[in-house]
Structure 1
Amino acid sequence: MQKQRSGWKLIPAVIALHAMPVLATNGHVLHGVGAINQSMGGAGIATSIDVIGANYNNVSSISFLTGNALELSVELFAPDRSHTGVISGGPAGTVDSEIRAAVLPAFGVVYRTQSPWTFGFSALGIAGFGVDYPANNPDPGGNFNPLALPQSLGGFGAIYSDYRVLQMTPSAAYQLTPDLSLGVGVNIDWASLVTDPWPAAVPNASGFPTGTRDASAWGWGFTLGATYKLLDHLMLGLVFKSPQWFGNFSWNSQHPDGTPTNFRFRLDYPMIVGGGVSYRPVAPLLLALDVKWINYSGTRGFEQKNWAMTASGPFVQGFGWRDIWTVSLGAQYKVTPAFAVRAGYNYGGNPISAGQQFFNVFAPAIVRHHLTAGAVPINQPIPGTRITNRLHENSVAVQITYKF
């Protein structure tokens, strides 16, 4: 094991500028974690350049980190969201979500023993979404957003949602040979969900109940990884992340007319399978490529779609997302041993098909190109209507590393 000198290292990363907004999710899955991994476009399956990114992307890659280290990253991001509703040949309107800045912390630590074993731990936010749309009534010109009408007039009214997923992963990696490492991690998850109104519950004559009380659920899963140093300047990585199986979110609530009700909803986190390669054409330059498949169509809460009919009215069965592929590209150049510059790009497919935009106003995780603005196609879930969701996010992250 290479001996490292103790010391702090501050690694700031401007993840986005106002003129070039960064879009931080593939579906609702963060495209990268921590300032270093995000600045590499999320590529990290075969890179081993930071603790947080290595333990999150491929637990086996912690074997190839140099020495022991502790890292802390903090990201501040401000999303900008809107949705437009149109009745064909009639009224149209756009409502903007209140911009609520959020803080995403990430923590990681790795300890290399004198044996082939390396142990790691990370705690970080891995997913989320949220909106805060106002209600509207027809203006003097007769224009309005039909979804934003009060429930008594057939819309959803004001729409609020806040979903967050935190994950803790203790891990262990074993070097079978100096060039091959296998790793396993156990994921312990916690999520919270707030929605108002909640369209996935059975309504009564007055409309959908509220889910304003913060409901939470625990979940778990596991991660398996392999990292192979094919050549001194070429590394390969494979990772399998199981679904994160959560318990039910539960609410004691009431309908708009005050009628009490209670309901439950289960929202798991998708299985992810990925592969990566990193290459050093010259010593100071590292190039990385990751490809991942995210299995939304087999995930509880995301797999079901469209309306379910009941005697008291229809309700939304689920988000109805499809599977997506993501591609992450990253480059790091060490100007000096103590200073590196990084750049990255991430592409993620759109998990929301044209026919499901109406059902995803509460969760507009619809971005596709990171480092460019994102948009979604228009659809007609109800005859004569069109719904468009738009989202972009600006963020800045700072990461601190202590090596010991």
Structure 2
Amino acid sequence: MKKYFLKCAFLFLSAVVYGQTGHIMQGVGAVNMSMGGASTAQPLDISGALQWNPATISTFDRKIIDFNIGFFSSSPELSSSLPAGMLGPGAPGVSGVTEDDRGISLMPAIAMVWGKEDSKHTFGVSAFGISGFGVTFPEEANNPMSSAFNPLENSNPVNYPQAARGFGHVESDYMLLQVGFTWSYEITETFSIGVQPTFNYAALELAPSPLSSPSQTLGYPTSDKASSLGFGAQFGMFYNSPKGFKLGASYKTAQSFSDLEFKNTYLNGTSAPDTAFNMDYPAILSFGLGYSKGDFDFAIDYRMVDYENTDGFADNGWEIATSGPGANFPTGAVKGFGWENINIISIGLQYKGIEKLPLRIGYTNSSNPIANELAFFSIPATAVIANAFQFGFSYPLTDSLMLNGVYHYGTSDGKTEGSMLDPTPDVMGGPWNANTNPLGAIPGSMIGYEMTTSMIQFGVSYTFKQ
């Protein structure tokens, strides 16, 4: 019953959340997004405070509820090429681009804080979609198995049918809902601490599934949507100087999940062997600086996301068979994404000089977790945004009800690009060699992806009367 309830909440709150920095949302709610996600030392709203530093909810001395919904779209492009001769003796090289056709997604979030002016204790609860990725790349129609195949026109080999050694139709959906219960305590009038136990529900679906070993005749199978429960915590400190300077720090532990257990099916409808995969959520260390004076509120955050010590992201390359005829050779199943740690800078500025219309601008910069040589392994998770720009506003509808809005635009700032990989051993005519080519890079090949994102988000915040 508990798992069913969490699944229903998950479907409502994070059915279509997609990451901006790695697979992590850069901000939560219209106010926090409009500040570029900067909130570790500048709690302008309860959603941003609950997401990035539990200690900062001590600044709210009323009961407040905040609900947000965003309309998000992305436009990933997947490209690849093979050199001349790869499709047969004398065959020309092929290259092409496939555009994602996923469409608009919804991004809801809800939070509530209970605070009292004469109390040192403040409590909060939140349900946020904090992570996700997803792509839909259709199968390439102009492929070698088509009677109308023309290699001189746009032809993307990575999306060739599996019978032509491509992946065919590529689709992925990963989503993570996090529920947090937060407590903050004012040690002094200027210094607070906070703690937040977190409970998570995640789901992943892959078509085809690179986590499975492919059949020599049927190729890679498609997985069902597997789900997993996880837990973790977040701790924070916050210093609020009477002169307007603010300092904050928080640490979100790695969120530990149970294995995702997949039921798999080959393209012809027959059952494939089940697979299990563990994918945790990385630890995040955040530091923030804020300053408020007159009509201005400024915030800057630095975050380090620890992918390199996170199950599912730390390992890379191919699984190696340990027994049987193929012992010591790749099975064709992928170990993990192999992502590197990323650094994120978030900057935001709020101007309150216009009566009843606070305005905000925000910028977020993130390093790319995907090394070029491992780009092939992250085809299902191309949502990496290097630069994001936001503009937001607030407008009081009543004394208690505030309307918030934001427009977001993000870009990957160029293409993540590497070689196409083939785990076929060199003894069978393939490129893989344990010593000289352990990833199986195809000489002269290319795989790459880039994208832009845009979003309009609105929220309402209601402050209860004392």
TM-score normalised by the chain length of structure 2: 0.79
Q: Answer yes or no: is the 8 Å Cα contact 2:19–2:132 preserved in 1.
A: no
Quick one: distance in 2 between partners of 1:255 and 1:373? Answer: 35
Equivalent-residue separation in structure 2 for 1:48 and 1:254 (angstroms) = 48
Q: For 2:306, which of 292, 295, 301 is the aligned residue?
A: 295
Q: Which has the higher contact order (CA 8 A, sep 6+)?
A: 1
User: Matched residues in 2 for 1:314 and 1:155: separation?
Assistant: 13
Q: Which residue of 1 aligns with 2:120?
A: 116
Letter in 2 for 1:115: S
Change (3 A) 1:193 1:390: same
My pick for the range that moved more, 257-266 or 56-65, is 257-266
Q: Does 2:65 correspond to 1:70?
A: yes
Determine if contact 1:255/1:261 at 8 Å carries over to the other structure.
no
Q: How does 1:181-192 map to 2 (within 5 A)?
A: 181-192=192-203
Letter in 1 for 2:139: A
For 1:190 and 1:101, the matched residues in 2 are separated by: 23
SS for the counterpart of 2:221 is: coil
CA deviations 1:59-105 (Å, max 9, x no partner) are 00000124221100111101111100111341001111113311111
- Counting only pairs closer than 5 Å after superposition, residues 187-336 of structure 1 correspond to structure 2 as 187-205=198-216, 206-211=218-223, 213-257=224-268, 258-280=270-292, 282-310=293-321, 311=326, 313-336=331-354
Query: 2: CA distance between counterparts of 1:74 and 1:335?
Result: 27
- Preserved contact between residue 203 and residue 255 of structure 1 (Cα < 8 Å): no
Tell me the residue number matched to 2:96. 93
Q: Which runs of 5+ in 1 are unaligned?
A: 1-22
Is the contact made by 1:236 and 1:277 (CA closer than 8 Å) also made in structure 2? yes
2:437 alignment partner in structure 1: none
- Superposed CA deviations along residues 295-351 of structure 1, whole A, max 9, x for unmatched, are 011111111112223338422111110001100000001124632000000000000
Unmatched tracts of structure 2, length 5 or more: 1-17, 85-92, 390-409, 422-440
More strand by share: 1
- The letter of the residue matching 1:395 is M
Moved more, 63-72 or 179-188: 63-72
* 1:304 alignment partner, SS class: coil
Q: Is the 8 A contact 1:58 1:238 kept in 2?
A: yes
Please point out which of 366, 377, 384 is paired with 1:359: 377
CA contact (8 A) 2:131 2:175 kept: yes
Moved over 6 A (4+): none
- Aligned position for 2:445: 385
Find the structure with the greater CA-based Rg.
2
What is the CA deviation profile of residues 103-137 of structure 1, one whole-angstrom value per residue up to 9, with x for unaligned ones? 11111111113321000111111011101111111
Secondary structure of residue in 2 paired with 1:201: coil
Q: Deviations over 1:191-234 (max 9, x none)?
A: 111111100112221211111x2211111110000001234310
CA distance in 1, matches of 2:177, 2:461: 21
For 1:40 and 1:377, how far apart are their aligned partners in 2? Answer: 27
Distance across 2 between alignment mates of 1:272 and 1:173:
19
Mapped partners of 1:289, 1:111: distance in 2: 26
Contact 1:241 1:271 in 2 (8 A): yes
Which shifted more, 231-240 or 140-149? 140-149
Amino acid corresponding to residue 392 of structure 1 in structure 2 = T
Structure-2 separation of matches of 1:336 and 1:343? 15
Q: Is the 8 A contact 1:227 1:238 kept in 2?
A: yes
Report the identity percentage: 30
What does residue 400 of structure 1 align with? Answer: 460
Greater Cα shift, 366-375 or 345-354: 366-375
TM-score normalised over the length of structure 1 = 0.91
Residue matched to 2:88:
none
Give 1:373's aligned residue: 411
* 1:42 partner letter: G
